[in-house]
A and B are shown apart, each in its own frame.
Chain A
Amino acid sequence: MSSVAPLLDVSGLCMRFGGLLAVNEVALQVAEGQIVSLIGPNGAGKTTVFNCLTGFYKPSAGSIRFRGEEVSGMPGFKLARKGMVRTFQHVRLFKQMSVVENLLVAQHHHMNTNMLAGLLKTPGFRRSEKEALDRAAQWLERTGLLEFANRTAGTLAYGQQRRLEIARCMVTRPTLLMLDEPAAGLNPRETADLQELIAELRSEHGLTILLIEHDMKLVMGISDHVVVINQGCPLAAGTPEQVCCDPEVIKAYLGET
């Protein structure tokens, strides 16, 4: 790795559920501006790693440093305020709220939520409301959802819901975006669009991205660095080319061609 301290530095991460060691000594470094992918067979513990990183689980051992600060076991909302947000394997939108409301809720902590200011509609309150709406509109436009702004989120098509989830992450103004199988259930065209969007998030918005994905074309196409885990243990790490050729990885996950 480079001499600059990585944005996210995970070392010796272990997660134990009773007698099951789901994650064993996983290490992971993500430098600012990188796209790093975490791959491995089903049940390898990829999502468990994500859950540890986002405060869902308190890791049994190991350290998670974000910008040099130890964050393991920190509640999710504090991590989000520090700039770490994630998506899930399945869509977790607020389905009964409108599309634009989904994006406004995500900006809650950036806005002035003072009840009195809200009642009096002070200039500061109005300004922050307008900013939030502008930001929401900007991301709806980018993800091609602007025309659906007032629709109930649950009525959108699946691919649109996935895009809305990414938009909802983006309005929180993150520095590290963690995507858990963003291409699951998308058709090849939608996956290609997604790849373009992820690349753009990095190049134009300076985002650092950590990705869990099974679509190897997507992973190999955009990753700077790939980490492979198998049965909770780290198996290999390196550039996409290195990982692709690693006999251990081929045996455990990619399969002979």
Chain B
Amino acid sequence: MPDSFYYLLQQLLNGLTVGSTYALIAIGYTMVYGIIGMINFAHGEVYMIGSYIAFIVLAALALMGIESLPLLIIGALVVSMIVTSAYGYSIERVAYRPLRGGNRLIPLISAIGMSIFLQNLVRLAQGSRDIAMPNLVRGGLDIGPTTGFHATLSYMQIIIFVVTLISMTLLTLFITRSRMGRACRACAEDLKMTNLLGINTNGIIALTFVIGAALAAVAGVLLGMYYGVINPYIGFMAGLKAFTAAVLGGIGSIPGAVLGGLLLGVAEAMTSGYFSAEYKDVVAFSLLILILLFRPSGILGRPEVEKV
């Protein structure tokens, strides 16, 4: 195999790593949009808070003298998911539910306000400087010749793939098999009708915010450890990227969000690898503009049919 093949493989692996975390965040956007038709622009901040909680938990566990790697990662994931779930629930309860039923722009503005509030809350509590996440997972698997150029799949990347895969499998099982999942799908099709059949739709809406927040926390923990640096502003860009991923795949569709996330991650990695890293955001948002121009319903989205 020529060197160029391993180079390509490396870019692909890097792209899929970042892309799978985009997908995790994008699911939160797409589920909320699917049910109440609004973009929760505070979702990126939930991801950022997830990263911070992970940092705090890792530091606390290290102080307690715990060194087992699985324990550290699972601890960070579980605590982070629980805390961000509370954030997700509260955001919906405080910033969106009182405004439901009004003009669509109003919750959107409320979302932007919530996003600024959360960003500054973390800035005040944790400071605005970069925080270095401890580099817990070192090394990786070499793919290709031992001498010369080869691709590396780091152990951290493997962890990201495995955790993402588990999260998505659990989500899929929940949505397709469980009663609550069935109620979620019903809400996504017709919220008012679901309500009139005796289902507390406010409860279901709150549940989607909680699920979205928990998945964003998973992404926050993983990406925080992968990049090694966090600050209160990472939520903005991650949120925009995940939003782009959700639109790319077809907003409202969960498989679409996953596909969009992976595509976006790979597109960014390829741009960085073959062109210049400075242009990766340009490519990501150009993709957004192109998809909005030529296929506004996204890759897997259904075109909106006018109700008669």
Binding site for B on A (CB under 8 A): 54-56, 75-77, 79-81, 85-86, 88, 90, 92, 94-97, 101, 104-106, 108-109, 111, 113, 115, 118, 168, 172
Contact = CB atoms under 8 A, between A and B. Distances in A.
22 contacts: A76-B196, A77-B198, A77-B199, A77-B200, A80-B195, A80-B197, A92-B193, A94-B194, A95-B189, A96-B189, A97-B182, A97-B185, A97-B189, A101-B182, A104-B182, A106-B198, A108-B182, A109-B198, A109-B199, A113-B180, A168-B197, A172-B197
Interface in B123-180: 178-180
B201 interface: yes
Interface of B: 178-180, 182-183, 185-186, 189-190, 192-201, 307-308
B179 A94 contact: no
Q: Would you list the 10 A-B pairs with minimal beta carbon distance, nearest first?
A: A80-B198, A76-B195, A109-B198, A76-B196, A105-B186, A94-B189, A106-B197, A92-B193, A81-B198, A77-B195
A97 B186 contact: yes
Contacts of B195: 75-77, 80
A87 to B, nearest CB: 9
A72 to B, nearest CB: 16
Given A94-B185, A118-B179, A105 B194 contact: yes
A76 to B, nearest CB: 4
B223 to A, nearest CB: 28
Interface centre among B180, B183, B193, B196 (most CB of A within 10 A): B196
B254 to A, nearest CB: 13
Contacts of B201: 77
A80 B200 CA distance: 10
Interface centre among A80, A85, A168 (most CB of B within 10 A): A80
B199 to A, nearest CB: 5
Interface centre among B179, B189, B195 (most CB of A within 10 A): B179
A1 B90 CA distance: 50
Contacts of A109: 198-200
A81 B197 CA distance: 8
